[in-house]
Structure 1
Amino acid sequence: METSERARMDAYFSRIARRFTPAEPPSSLLVTHMLPERPLFVHAVGKVSNLRAVLPKPRSVHIPARREVERTYVVDELSRSLFADADTAVTYLETRAAGEPLVLLDVGGYFASSLDVLCERFSGKVLGVVEDTENGHKRYAQRDKLPCPVVSVARSPLKDPEDFLVGQSVVFSTEALLRERGDILHGRPALVLGFGKLGSSIARLLHAKGVHVTVYDIDPVRRTQALSQGFSVARERDNALKNAGLVLCATGSLSLRGEDFPELKNGAYVATVTSSEDELELEGLPNGYTRHSAGEHVTRYSTTGHYFYLLNGGEAVNFIHGASVGPFIFLVQAEIIAGVCALARGDLDATMHDIPAADRSTIAATWLHYYNNR
């Protein structure tokens, strides 16, 4: 990163931090992708809270960025199992922030399964959660009752530019991997599973490249939206799988079960926009399949009479090429910081919340001051 760009980022996040520093900063734990630009965001979180530990998302760790963060903060290893077991989760919180008011900054609902126990047994007080992703939003929203407030930025209008650009990066990385194998997108019918913000972006971008796109979503409203935008919409997902040469999973939850993989067309490619543990039930793949490398970041699964290719081991395919969405990511990161401030006030009830519109406007105006160069 150029020195001038780093200075601009630092000035932006410093202004955001000043605007949203709570009167009494809480402690925090931060789950995040550890990408090259991420240290300045981490430092901003550290300005508005007592940042007790950073937990990088597995398989999205840029080593120099991690080393920079480690010079100031504790960096721990993250896994679903860390917070899936109640006793392990409570022990971890006690190790890092015993007796303190605590905000949990999440990417993908890591704290969702143990949240009740954390709120009940932690010696401090869990003030709430800030969630960044649609997948995580669903994990918290589907609960009958929350034990603390959850501020979600997953459906914020400030996330729209990020979602569009993530869609671009997914299509770019998918096409790049195919081309490295001497293959191309054209002539390979695509199935997009999930027509939310990311899925719709991916579908439009594939269509713009001349690819025939079929969409499937469990929500009939979204299927209607896809049809109105000119896409073929599958009546049944299972039949659509049999005809697709490329399957892009963008549901934010389980897209392909173990028994679905044998239904894939021979030679089909499968890619996801999030982690394999969320989108793919690879452990449920029927016995008899073997796997071997078919190129960098491409795995060939095969059994008698059937084979398919999995891109990037089932992890988000765009992370192969850095998953950069430029400075637009800073809009959502600022909302996360605003979420810390909102939870620190302690006046939110134990339901799902958005960042107030006035705060979003402040963030957008600040961002424009630094990143609208005209």
Structure 2
Amino acid sequence: MEATERARLDAYFGRIASRFAPAERPAAFLITHLLPERPSFVRGVAEVTDLRAVLPKPKSVHTEALRKVEGSGHACDELSREMFVDPDRAVRYIEARAAGRAVVLLDVGGYFAPSLEALCDRFSGRILGVVEDTENGHRRYGALDKLPCPVVSVARSPLKDPEDYLVGQSVVFSTEALMRSRGDSLHGRTALVVGFGKLGSSIARLLHAKGVRVTVYDIDPVRRTQALSQGFTVARALPNGLEGAGLVLCATGALSLRGEDFGLLRNGAYVATVTSSEDELELSGLADVYERAHSGPHITRYLTTGHYFYLLNGGNAVNFLHGASVGPFIFLVQAEILAAAAVLADGGLEPGMHEVGPTDRAAIATTWLDYFNR
């Protein structure tokens, strides 16, 4: 990022932070993809909150971005799912960084969900609430029997629509780039898109535009009807879609393929995902059946007697291989995260799922247009 671009981005987040600055800054923990432009967002979070720790998602850490964040004096702690699965461990961690404080948790993917009740009950301070960025995380919090605090989700915000569309583009770009590295092409291929939400529908449309014959499968019958209305073939069941697909793109944010599903793939099929392998794919048992071999940069061949397929980027989000860039549109979502943190800091929300209001979203969009509609 050039110095002028960085200065513009810092000014943008400074303006957003000044608009939404709460009366009292709460402590905050930030889970984030630490990509090259992310230090400016981290600085914005630090203006709205007292940022106690940044927890970079482990498979999307840019070395220079990490250096800049740490150089700004922010602690960067190692993140794993296990860290917040054990309630005792989760409470100890938050206590160590923010004992007795009012705390906002900024999440990407529902990491805090398994221990949220324990944190609200046992933490010496007070958990003001959670801000969640992704559909996967939205569902994880929504699945809890009873939310012990407010969760402000930006996952379904209209400000996120441009990001979802462009992430779909980056997924298709990276998938095709890896296939081409083996002399293969998307054109003329058959593909199965598992999941027809915002990302999956974007991916399906982009694949179709590239001459790919696309079949869709989604567990939600409403989404299956939507896919049919847009002209896609819809598989009645997942095995039906897998058997003929030369490319499988998993876009559910949840478990898409179980161990037994891989045996249904046609020989030479490629498998790619839009999120981490621990969320989308059940890979643990494959080592007992398949031999793995390197088959090109970021391509793993799984081979057993009479059957083989290719897994892209180890089953992790394929678009992060090429920066996962969606341009300045990501700053709309990040600004809404700052606004959501300020809403939680000001209090007044009951436990449950919430969204940022339309007036605040309009203000964010207006500010964004001032800086990036050039």
Residues 1:23 and 2:16 are matched in the alignment: no
Structure 2: how far apart are the matches of 1:140 and 1:65?
29
Give 1:4 deviation, angstroms: 1.1
In 2, the alpha carbon distance for the partners of 1:329 and 1:123 equals: 35
CA RMSD of aligned residues (A): 0.7
Asked if 1:7 is matched to 2:7, the reply is yes
One-letter amino acid of the counterpart of residue 134, structure 1: E
| Partners of 1:128 and 1:343 within 8 A in 2 | yes
State the 1:288 CA deviation. Answer: 2.2
Aligned residues: 373
Aligned to 1:34: 34
**Structure 1 segments (4+ residues) deviating >6 Å:** none
**Residue range with higher mean Cα deviation, 288-297 or 360-369:** 288-297
Tell me whether 1:262 sits opposite 2:278 in the alignment: no
Residue identity opposite 2:15 in structure 1: R
Structure 1: give runs of 5+ residues left out of the alignment.
none
Q: CA deviation at 1:286?
A: 6.7
2: distance between equivalents of 1:272 and 1:288? 22
**Contact 1:118–1:126 at 8 Å: present in 2 too?**
yes
Give the AA of the match of 2:202: S
> Which one-letter code corresponds to 1:266 in the other structure?
N
**Unpaired stretches in structure 2, ≥5 consecutive residues:** none
Letter in 2 for 1:242: E
Q: Which residue of 2 aligns with 1:301?
A: 302
Give 1:56-135 correspondences, 5 Å limit.
Answer: 56-71=56-71, 72-135=73-136
Distance 1:286 1:263, change over 3 A: farther
Which residue is 1:171 aligned to? Answer: 172
2:293 matched to which residue of 1?
292
Output the CA distance in 1 between the equivalents of 2:4 and 2:288.
55
Whole-angstrom distance in 1 between the partners of 2:228 and 2:285: 32
Identity of paired residues, percent?
73
- Counterpart of 1:154 in structure 2 is 155
Give the residue type in structure 2 aligned to 1:201: S
For 2:97, the aligned partner's letter is: R
> Counterparts of 1:90 and 1:122 in 2: how far apart (Å)?
6
Report the AA paired with residue 225 of structure 2.
T
TM-score by length of 1: 0.99
1:317-339 residue CA offsets vs partner (Å, 9 max, x unmatched): 00000000000000000000001
Q: What is the aligned partner in structure 1 of residue 356 from structure 2?
A: 355
Q: Which moves more between the two structures, 281-290 or 340-349?
A: 281-290
Using the alignment, how far apart are the partners of 1:372 and 1:287 within structure 2?
A: 53
Residues in 1 aligned to 2:53 and 2:259: alpha-carbon distance in whole angstroms: 35
Q: What is the CA distance between 1:188 and its match in structure 2?
A: 1.8
Contact 1:259 1:286 in 2 (8 A): no
Pair 1:136-2:137 in alignment? yes
TM-score by length of 2: 0.99
| Alpha-carbon separation, structure 1, partners of 2:123 and 2:214 | 49
Distance 1:219 1:54 in 2: 35
